[in-house]
Amino acid sequence: MDEASKIDTSKISTSKIGTIRIKLVRSPICTPEHHKRVVKGLGLRKLNQIVVRPDTAVFRGMVKMCPHLLVVVE
């Protein structure tokens, strides 16, 4: 067994990570393909749809890629 498989992940708490609500406010039609993939990757399909995602740097970065399409709802 290698070192990575010996780590006990059951003690790692994901409850300390907060959540953010992301809203699609503009249509991704006529935007670059990369922006469409970001919106789809977040799970957004309809205008004014809100999804809840963990408040991590990954999701914050995805929102920052398309600030004209997405809004973080507080």
DSSP 42-68: TT--STT-EEEEE-SHHHHHHHHH-TT
- Give the range of the structural domain holding residue 20, as residue numbers without chain letter: 16-73
Is 38 among the domain residues? yes
CATH number at residue 66: 3.30.1390.20
Contact 44, 69 (CB under 8 A): no
Residue 11 belongs to a domain = no
Domain count, the chain: 1
Region 4-25: mean pLDDT is: 72
pLDDT in tens, 24-56: 999 999 999 999 999 999 999 999 999 999 999
Q: Which residue reads 């507080």 in tokens?
A: 74
- Check whether 58 has a pLDDT greater than 70: yes
Tokens of 20: 């953010």
In a domain, 2, yes or no: no
Residue 10 lies in a domain: no
DSSP result, 4-31: GGG--GGG--STTS-EEEEEE-S--TTS
Domain assignment present for 56: yes
